[in-house]
Chains A and B, each alone.
Chain A
Amino acid sequence: MDNTCIITLQDVNKKFGDALIVDNLNLFIKKGEFVTFLGPSGCGKTTTLRMISGFEMPTSGKVFLYDKDITKIPPYKRPINTVFQRYALFPHLDVYNNVAFGLKLKKVPVECTKFIYNKEFFKKLFKFDFKNLPREKVTKYKHVSADVIDKKVARALKIVDLEDLEDRSIETLSGGQQQRVAIARAIVNEPEILLLDEPLGALDLKMRKEMQLELKEMHRKLGITFIYVTHDQEEALTMSDTIVVIKDGVVQQVGTPTQIYNEPKNAFVADFIGESNIYSATMIDKKKVRFLGWTWDCVDDFDVNENVDVVIRPEDIQLLGPRNTNLLGVIKSKIFKGVHYEYIVLVGKTEIQVRDTRDLKLDSHVSIKIEPQNIQIMKKEYNINAFYNAYINDKNKVVISGDEFDCDLTQLSPGSKVDEEGFLVVNKLRYNLADANVAAEIALSDIEISDDISLSGVKGVVINSIWKGDHYQVLLRSSGEEDYVLDTQYNWNVNDIVSIIIPKEKIKLRLKGDLSKYEENA
């Protein structure tokens, strides 16, 4: 792997109508890397991929291939091939012709000799001096010959393990086989970059795991750049050299899987990659941070009194016998996961996820220890209220640290509705979302507060209020000890008790895990 950038995205913006899909994206992709664009659905990762393949043109900004500006070059002229989400194979062609499609269109420069029809030519022709007829060398563009195509197709099919299926029609193939044909069809053209748009999404879990390893192996063998799009963080961690985490069209973090997992840059990345405990915390001294009502030693240095987010991975928390020098908690739930147990430990009202190989008793009291280097501290972002430990209760309300808010569940799946019994209905399937874990996001301008405390069930105390030039930014702490930040025109006095009102359509929900696991068996 060398260090040349094969693809550079420079200040790329993409708008569909008024919606900003990709927001000022700058990205460098190194030659030969396996790069994954990772993010929740609708985050702009596929749009970014389509701008690299040429199907979308950026609204502004530039795309470079090496040093060449390819922003306006159509897809058929780019040395880039794509494996499409639903394969997009040609049903009117058999496997061989699907794979050979690109090769048959291709014209390659061929050196050939051509007579020069000048005086000398005819002179020599009449003297029957055929050997010395004037000739010149020219390059012509010719179609690839049939036996070269044969050989290349055979090799591509061998790489994807489909040697014997050349004559089969597409409809007779299984999903996994179609997937392989789609890959063969792309790599047979020997592209410099292979784009893969959620190629494993339609396969079952076992098949997916197999294909992940095979794709990785293929990448190693072919040595070309792979750009892979997925919303599956596990897939991204397994396969990639570099992961680009994208949210709402903005790159959150670029790094190796280890960096992304161990040192997430913000709470979103931490929450999206792997299981994690995320808490709002305050730096109370040099390298001392306070959360869960306890003061912890840490290694990151932030300003004293700064509000921060902390992330602790479940496997980094140690459960010890109850002792007074540590934070105490009670084991509330226990699930066996094969190699380890997954515990939920309750500290006050707050849940902590813990992973431990030992078999501990339910309801037993434990104390909690976290090594300082395992507490990852991140700068708190005040551009949005994000709550990663929210859940839906049996009244279809979203619960954020004990505070209940009305919410709109239909946003979890397009075209869905909620029936009278409270189930989410999508395509005639019913989903019971009670106890479903979600991440909830509320923009700063969407929270209203009022001193009429009868207006809402959720009350909070104003912690501080800062003048931001044209508005005040108010920090509230609710009865459930959660912090809310909001923009308002009015100044509020510290320690005022207010009711917190959030219109239900303003709470953006994202389901953790797949909707299918909440399917209700009628």
Chain B
Amino acid sequence: MTNRPEGLRARYLAAFPKTLDALPGAELGWLRSLRESALARFADLDLPEPRVEDWKYTNLRPLKASDLAVPANDSASADAPSGLPRFGDGARLVFVNGRLDAAASSPALPAGARLLSLGAALAETPDLLESDLGRLVPWQGEGVLALNTAFMRDGYVLAIDPGVEIETPIEIVFHGGAASHAAWHVRNVIRLGEGARATVIESHVGAPDAAYFSNPVTEIFAGPSSALRHYRIQDESIKAQHLAHVAAELAEKADMESFVLTLGAALSRNEIRVAIEGHHVECKLNGIYLQRGTQHSDNTTVIDHKVGDGRADEVYKGVLDDRASGVFQGRFIVREDAQKTDANQQSRAILLSPKARADAKPELEIFADDVKCSHGATIGELDEEPLFYLRARGIDTDTARALLVEAFLRDAIEKITCEPVREAFGKRVEDWIRAEKEGS
């Protein structure tokens, strides 16, 4: 299967010349050459194999061999279905099959802030993107990112001027429609000026049983003293493949909070790479992954402390049932002279079924001496003792297990500082646990 000539790579390479002119910004020379270089890298690299160290625990061979269609050229987008997630009444963009659904979107923001699609941004203000697009994403070294860079289309661009604070959460919905066997490569850009503040909630959802490949890549430029809360819920169709990459650059005193709740997809990976470029930065990366059946979820994070005085905090928790597998890879890099860095990471996974599996690789790479860095990782089943304690009080086993799972996940949920999101995500976690209890 893997070697058949019409594998995913071959189809993308063949489609590129025909697609190039239809991609946004086709008339921009710099973007064309960026896409062409990225395609050349993809031709060399292909999607990573498990022997690539960073992809040791996530196998993309089925995706490589799949008969997914390359992104279509037409500009028509399917209509957004009703009942898509809504957290408040803030600005909102809806993408269906990777294309903006303008009718379902309401992008209006107060003065000093803009929310638009990548295509619109490239048409209106290409200069703003020229120096930055693709700068944070190491597409030269990795096939998934090279592919996205060559084919990137739509996605959202959020730009907030210095000093502007947007209180209401901005909502982005990516919906995978019933049109099966499609792939899309969205590219998002968030740019916060000095002192700007915003909250972004991304929902990645899909029609039940739709089989598609969603490949969103986000570049975040957080200016000095800016604050970004970036929340994501990944509840794709159970047959979807979801490979997300977030690359962020934090300037002095920037504050970034990220939370990823992973529920859906057959296979998913959330990779976050943060470069700390200024002093006194705060970076919080948290997440929960709940998987059952044969689902596979990979959470990979890298926080690169290039200068000192930064603080990083990370909590990832996973619950895995049936034959599901979960991966956590978290690396802290502290460069020479990045003194007074304080970084802490916790990753914990609970296996609910004998066939579930978890892999963890927490890494420290430290080149400065005056630092405090630590990580802790645990993998195991639910504790027997509290289970016994609850049973002794007349609580049945299923209820007791559900309670303990909820308690296990609680402190990760509590890390979400935006209240409506904390409640909504908390509710989704409870739903998952309830389904678990009823299913067992």
The reply to whether chain A is a binding partner of chain B is no
List residues of B whose CB falls within 8 A of some A CB. Answer: none
- A interface residues with partner B (beta carbon < 8 Å): none
